[in-house]
Structure 1
Amino acid sequence: MKKIGVFITVLLAQITFAQVNRFVYQVTMKPNVADKSDIKTENAYLDISADKSMFYSENRIKRDSVMRANFQSGGARGFNRDQMESLRSVINYSIEKNKKDQKTAYKDRIGRDIYTYEEERPLNWKILSETTKIGDYKVQKAETDFGGRKWTAWFTTDLPYQDGPYKFSGLPGLVVKAEDSTGDYSFDLMKNYKIADFPETSTFGNIMKVKRTDYIKQQEKYKSDPTAFMNSQRGSGGINAPRSRNGGGENQNPAEMRKRMEDRIKEEAKNNSNPIELK
């Protein structure tokens, strides 16, 4: 009986260890440098397992789920555009931290493809003696300069994770709150719970592994001339699409479609002119 009891204890421990812990952060952003009154707020997930963690938008998972369901039920014709618009996210990137090799991988879509790079800049934290309480957690203050911004973080050792939202990690506890000195970006832990496993995500287009500097160059090319950029993407077939029909059955002119796409991308660039990393 004693051996059975030990076996059950070990088994339960393994099951618990295998679970993924999800931390939900409220992300507050002022992405438009010309209009600081334009404040965007949305939720993002930090999912942590024994081997890795992933940080990404809640809306991304919802959009992926909607897209998979629509493709399975008849492809693009089944898309509910209003529903997709309601799930549009400012957080288009995802970040994966590998616990074994201590590497951080950043992924973001540019045009039709996914660009990914490994972060090579270390986070050098200055841990201060100041403590307070945020929610149920006793937290301690830390500061760092990263990506052209000065960040203040509050971390807790009440939770056994040396991790945090975005690229923040390396503190002796979980980051409960992080905010830059200008108040343009903040991450606030709202709640946490366990999930069975990391969610399934959809990947459309090629995966392009690049250096961070190359990612920035490609991003600027896309913003300055989206048509030329997308036509140059390998395997994408460009954007010289055949004449198509809209929901009302009328033909859409390819030139008009390209013009609308360019206007949309330029408008998005203007509305996202205050990125979280300034350099």
Structure 2
Amino acid sequence: MKKLFSVFFIALFVFANAQDKEESKETANRFFYELTFKPKKDSTKLEKVMTVLDVTKDKSIYRDYTVIAQDSIIKVEVEAMQKSGTFKDLSKTIRMPKFSEKIDKFYPDMKVQYVERIANGFTPVNIAYTENLKFDWKISNEKEKIGAYTAQKATTEFGGRQWTAWFTTDLPFQDGPYKFSGLPGLIVKIEDADKNYSWVLQGNKKVANWEELSYAEKISGMNLKVTEVSREKFNKTFNDFKKDPLASARPYLKPEMMSQKMPGSDITVGEMIKNQEKMYKDFYGAVDNPVEKTQPAPEKKKK
């Protein structure tokens, strides 16, 4: 039976193919940012999620920490399924992330690559757009203690919002959460004027044998290959995917396949597919208040 695709954690058919990979020799500096955000434009409700910025010698990677934090749990569950040959619905034990994007900033020019994962049939693929962002920071002399660090204030406009950042030269990385960068030190706090999004640094550590792909991503057949498209095409492709996440897989879902039972389970493939579809729609419907309220106009094609 072919592998089914899951954007957020392991594909539910791949437990028989899970294998450990050779450990990486790279070390990364991992910065933990607690993100407080308002998911709905017309609501006062706030939510929190831990995000991370992993800084390597060549680039930084920003993403939701939820799935990474559960890697050891996922590995134990998958190995138990391998041993027993019995399917277990991990969606009941594994927390969903709040955000699915991954943002890479490549050193030294800080080119930003915004990556999302979609499905091509049963195969996960990465699509991305790139930007050369130059933030117009206004640095003031105002200083404040943010956690353990003495930080300095800076302001900018980005994505239709006014932002206030606090950076520290105690951490010599001209980087920060999401797409933010370009200050003479690491951003330890940044929030917009209306407090829709607020990141605060909570801690950091060195990660030995760092790997960009989590265990869950690797056994789901994901890789680091990226198809770069214009932002306009990216938006259309990703919006189409969010409306019908299983569109590209549906032609392969034959009736005889849908009626089969999952190994060692009473749930059918069809029921599992239905649950997956609901999971996707609930996920993408949970946030309608993006970080960037406005986006740059599409670049005019050269004649």
Q: TM-score, normalised by structure 1?
A: 0.77
**Quick one: structure 1 residues 269 and 78, their matched pair in 2 at CA, closer, same or farther if it must change by over 3 Å?**
closer
Query: Cα offset for 1:249?
Result: 4.1
Establish whether residue 95 from structure 1 lines up as the match of residue 107 from structure 2: no
Residue number in structure 1 paired with 2:41: 33
Higher relative contact order (CA 8 A, sep 6+): 2
Identity %: 36
Compare CA radii of gyration and give the structure with the larger one.
1
Counterpart of 2:87 (choices 70, 77, 85) is 77
CA–CA distance in 2 between the matches of 1:210 and 1:152? 31
**Quick one: structure 1 residues 55 and 146, their matched pair in 2 at CA, closer, same or farther if it must change by over 3 Å?**
same
Establish whether residue 46 from structure 1 lines up as the match of residue 53 from structure 2: yes
Query: Cα offset for 1:43?
Result: 1.2
Contact 1:70 1:79 in 2 (8 A): no
CA–CA distance in 2 between the matches of 1:214 and 1:27? 28
Residue number in structure 2 paired with 1:274: 289
Contact 1:32 1:270 in 2 (8 A): no
What does the per-residue CA deviation read over 1:242-275, in whole Å, with 9 as the maximum and x for residues that have no partner? 3233698445373x65555444433333311112
Gaps of 5+ in 2: 1-25, 295-303
Establish whether residue 245 from structure 1 lines up as the match of residue 252 from structure 2: no
Compare the two structures and name the one with the higher helix fraction. Answer: 1
Counterpart of 1:265 (choices 263, 277, 280) is 280
Matched residue type, 2:68? I
Matched residue type, 2:232? T
Counterpart of 2:140 (choices 124, 128, 136) is 128
CA–CA distance in 1 between the matches of 2:212 and 2:72? 9
Deviates more, 1:174-183 or 1:242-251: 242-251
Instruction: Name the Cα RMSD after superposition.
Output: 2.8
How many residues of Structure 1 are paired with residues of Structure 2 in the alignment?
253
Gaps of 5+ in 1: 1-17, 232-236
Matched residue type, 1:61? I
Residue number in structure 2 paired with 1:158: 170
Deviates more, 1:153-162 or 1:75-84: 75-84
Residue number in structure 2 paired with 1:6: none
Contact 2:150 2:168 in 1 (8 A): yes
Matched residue type, 2:96? R
Establish whether residue 20 from structure 1 lines up as the match of residue 31 from structure 2: no
What does the per-residue CA deviation read over 1:103-128, in whole Å, with 9 as the maximum and x for residues that have no partner? 22222223443222222343222222
CA–CA distance in 1 between the matches of 2:117 and 2:71? 14
